[in-house]
Amino acid sequence: MRSNPRVLAIVLAGGEGKRLMPLTAERAKPAVPFGGIYRLIDFSLSNLVNSGYLKIVVLTQYKSHSLDRHITKTWRMSNLLGNYVAPVPAQQRMGKNWYLGSADAVYQSLNTIEDEKPDIVVILGADNIFRMDISQMVESHIDSGLPMTIAGIRQPLELADQFGVIEADPDNPVKMKAFLEKPTNAVGLKDSPNEVLASMGNYVFNTDALLKIIKQDAKDDDSSHDMGGSIVPLFVDAGQAGLYDFTYNEVPGATDKDRNYWRDVGSIDAFYDSNMDLISVSPVFNLYNDKWPLYTGYTGLPPAKFVYGHHERLGHALDSLISPGVIISGGEVIGSVLSPHVRINSWSSVRNSILFDNVTIGRNATVSRAILDKNVRVEEGAQLGIDADHDRARGFHVTESGIVVVPKNAVVTK
């Protein structure tokens, strides 16, 4: 392989995200807003761009309009230099089926690989929160001499049954011995018996090996056509699968607290907790690392504004993320994440909540431990997150932990 290989990145962004309903009722999971101004896909795309990989294909399928619009408006590269971030919808190129799985998505989009002719293909998921220098994984992949490498992150042994677990070859720590899907009898790592190496859903392939195995899998009617469940085991069985331990990834500007941070926001509670990770004095995940920036599309918005200074009508926010365009007019915000153009009116209280774009909180309203999707309006004096039975009676989803979710464009009445 050449010393400076051509790399094409593919981001798998066709996921429906059923466990994030109702936030995914009108958008694909990677398009769900996060951290005030970002979309979930911005984290994978920022990692690729910061790693120097500027030829990126995003494979979309489920309710992709919001995602396509975000990519098209935000992720514009220099045509002069041949760089691009291109959303590619499901096209039924290989038959009359939509994507049957993540591997089938790659198979049905082989033209994007054949047109670019890369030496290496990097494949990432689109809906995890993490910082990673992908180029270090690519270097490890090349050094291993193996045709496929999967990234793993250390997780507690007791959580092994929630992940695809990677077992390392005891004689070669960068080679996989086995790949176990949600095992109940996993064995801890040799250097850390209380941990396992869980798949992050990030892969590096030599192009020729990927094309061969993807085409082989497409002919197997019994396959689930999934990258983790179908493609990885084929490489493992052939003794050709490498692994990359995320623990050793060094991201510029990382702190001891947020180094190796990775979250799968596959459920409402996980999504909520990941947002809450952002707002402490020393955050578990630091948005303010300017040596490895996170890119997104909000520009031209006015600053946030806080008005009314009387002690009984004080517009203020504490321990919160407040986005541009927000107006806090005589209300309080504590421990919350507010997206652009949110309006908090007088004598209202928002605590431990996540508010998407254009949410309006009426006077004397109370919102606690809630997620409000775009354009939600909470009427004057209404309460949300105080009485779970009342919230359910109004048709809102409430998780077992008590997080209430209000869908897009809804009106919250008394």
According to CATH, the topology of domain 7-277 is Spore Coat Polysaccharide Biosynthesis Protein SpsA; Chain A (3.90.550)
- Residue 2 above 90 pLDDT? no
- Residue 391 above 90 pLDDT? yes
307 touches 329 (CB < 8 A): yes
- Residue 369 above 70 pLDDT? yes
348 marked as binding residue: no
Which strand (E) or helix (H) includes residue 155?
A: strand 148-156
What is the Cα–Cα distance from 135 to 47, expressed in whole angstroms? 10
Confidence band, pLDDT 50/70/90 cuts, at residue 64: confident
Give domain limits for the chain: 7-277, 305-412
| Average confidence (pLDDT) over 10-37 | 91
- Residue 1 above 70 pLDDT? no
Parallel, antiparallel or unpaired: strands 120-125 and 128-130: unpaired
Q: Which of 336, 307, 310 is nearest to 322 (CA)?
A: 336
In the chain, the amino acid numbered 378 is: V
55 touches 9 (CB < 8 A): yes
CATH superfamily of 305-412: Hexapeptide repeat proteins (2.160.10.10)
Spatial neighbors of 115 by CB under 8 A, at least 6 apart, are none
What is the Cα–Cα distance from 160 to 409, expressed in whole angstroms? 39
CB atoms within 10 A of CB 84: 15
396 touches 379 (CB < 8 A): no
The lowest-confidence range among 5-19, 81-95, 236-250, 316-330 is 81-95
Considering the chain, what is the average pLDDT of its residues? 92
| Average confidence (pLDDT) over 322-327 | 97
Which strand (E) or helix (H) includes residue 48?
A: helix 41-50
- Residue carrying the six token digits 């291109």: 86
305 marked as binding residue: no
- Burial label for 390, CB within 10 Å (0-12, 13-18, 19+), is middle
265 touches 129 (CB < 8 A): yes
E-assigned strand segments in 35-103: 38-39, 55-60, 84-89
3-state SS assignment for residue 170: coil
308 marked as binding residue: no
What is the Cα–Cα distance from 150 to 135, expressed in whole angstroms? 13
- Residue 14 above 90 pLDDT? no
Q: Which of 272, 279, 300 is nearest to 74 (CA)?
A: 300
| Average confidence (pLDDT) over 184-194 | 86
| Average confidence (pLDDT) over 383-406 | 96
Parallel, antiparallel or unpaired: strands 366-368 and 383-384: parallel
Confidence band, pLDDT 50/70/90 cuts, at residue 340: very high
199 marked as binding residue: yes
Write down how long the chain is: 414
Tokens representing residue 395 in the block: 């048709």
Residue 245 bridge partners (DSSP): 152
- Residue 93 above 90 pLDDT? no
117 marked as binding residue: no
Tokens representing residue 311 in the block: 């002690």
E-assigned strand segments in 246-336: 262-264, 305-307, 309-310, 313-314, 316-318, 321-322, 327-329, 332-334
The lowest-confidence range among 131-140, 173-182, 266-275, 326-335 is 173-182
> What confidence score (pLDDT) does residue 86 get?
92
276 touches 336 (CB < 8 A): no
Residue 178 bridge partners (DSSP): 167
